[in-house]
Each structure stands twice: as structure tokens, then as C-alpha cells.
Amino acid sequence: MKGKMKQAAAQTHRICKANKIPFPQEVWSSMKKSKGAQSQETRQHNYNVTHLFRTMLLMKITLISMFLWITIASTYYGLTFKVTSLKGNPYFNFFISGLLEFTMAALCLPIMNRFGRKKPLVVGFIFCSAMCLTSGFVNSYTTGYDKLVTAFGLVGKCAGSCIFIVFFVYTTELYPTVIRNVGLGLGMFWARLGGVMAPQINEWTSVLFGFDVIYLFGTLSLIGGLIVLPLPETHQKRLPDTIEEEVTIPAEACALTDKAEEEDAIGTLLGRKSSSENV
């Protein structure tokens, strides 16, 4: 709340009055105390980029995020530039591309609410890779399927835009509160670098290496889908506030999961035992 507790309290009172519910005084007092301690800790630390590498978990998240951001941005903008060079009317292709992106942007929120962050990201990367590689193969080894080549390329770009949206949310949830803006800022640096590199990649890949650039985008997307797998799921999970909690919260979650599984197993055994006694 950035020290604006009085304004936040006034807004909360207004919301409670509008909804005709009592003001949650106990919850507010607890949160106020927690925020005070957190603000004191934040003032004592000047967080910077080096804090993104303080633990093995943070280092893993940061290195993977850096690669994913540059991959997502270079693939998305590279395919955007390539849309006008695909077979067919370039203006119509660009219009269809924008229409598909608008549709996917509207669907991203319900997809994330239903399936979380990690699964849509992995599926999106692999789907984008499949579309790009298929478009390249059809274009290179067949003739007379120009519309199919264009369709695969447009759908691949649409998947790239969906990945962009999901990873924005996912990145902010991977980092603790105290370094969340630093982590996202570093990710944006690599994303902008990927955007700057995209037209050069489009221009020089076929000249230097002799193959269509869409193969490169497909390969990068496939690698991106695979390296997302070690990252934790953040949907409906308690997010860490401090660097220390970044390590302890996953351990607590595992302990709770193991305990729940153990209780379920005991309940199942007791149920079987009572059934056998009744027989």
C-alpha cells in the first residue's frame, strides 16, 4: 500500500458500506501490523538485481525467465514482421492475425483461471513450435499449399501473443514481493532486446545459415516449452513476500500436501476396514 494506510482504510470503509457488511477490524489490524513489519524490512534493504540471484531457486527462476523473455519477444515480433511476407494478400493476412490475437487475448484470462499459469504456457510454447515448424516444412517440401503455409504461420503468431500475456502474469508471481518489480524489470530488458533483435534475425538467418527463419522460431519455442517445466505453479498458491519465504513456502506447501495425502490414505484404509467388518 506504499504507506497510504489511511487512504486504504477509508476506501475499505466505503466498500464495506456500499456492500452493507461490517468493517473487518481484526483482519485489518493484523494486515496493518504485517505491512508495518514488511515496510521496516524493506527500508533496511536496498533491493537490486543481485538479489535475483541470492538463492538457487531465485537464480533458476531468473535465468529461465531471461531466456524465455528474449525467446517470446523475438518470436512474436519476428513472426509479426514475417506475416507480410507470407503468401497471400499482406493486408488481409495482417487483419486476420490481429483478429486472432484479439480473440486469444480475450480467452487468456479464463484459461489462466481454469488451468493455472504453467500448463497454458507449456502448451502455448509447444503449439507455437508445432505451427512454425509445420509451416516451414510445408513451405519447403511441398508446392501448391500456400494458404496452408500462411494459416500455420498466423496461428503460430497467435499462440505467441497468448504466451506473451500469460508470461507477464506468471513472471510477477514467481518473485517475492520485495523484488517483484526488479524481476519484472529485468525480464522487460530481455524482452525489449528480443524485440530489437527480431528484424535482424528475420533478415540474416536465411543469408547466414540458409534456412527459413520460421524454423528458428519453432525451435526456440520448443526449447522454451521444455525449460518452463522446472518452474513452480503459482495459481491459487500463497505468494512469498520476502526472499526467505521464497524458499520456505514451497517446503510448507509440500508438507501440507504430504499430510493431506496421508490423511486421505488413512481415511481410505479406515473405510475399507469398516466395510469388511460390516460384511
Alpha carbon distance 149, 170 (integer Å): 31
User: Quick check: pTM over 0.75?
Assistant: no
Q: What is the mean pLDDT of the chain?
A: 82
Which architecture does CATH list for 50-227? Up-down Bundle (1.20)
Q: What is the pLDDT of residues 203-257, one digit of tens each?
A: 888 778 888 888 999 999 999 999 999 999 999 888 888 888 877 765 444 433 4
Of 28-32, 105-109, 242-246, which range is least confident? 28-32
Indicate where the chain has its CATH 1.20.1250.20 domain(s).
Answer: 50-227
Q: Could you tell me if 128 and 156 are in contact, meaning their C-beta atoms sit under 8 angstroms apart? A: yes
Residue 154 near residue 100 (C-beta atoms within 8 A): yes
DSSP H/E element including 210: none
Q: What is the pLDDT of residues 141-155, one digit of tens each?
A: 877 788 888 888 889
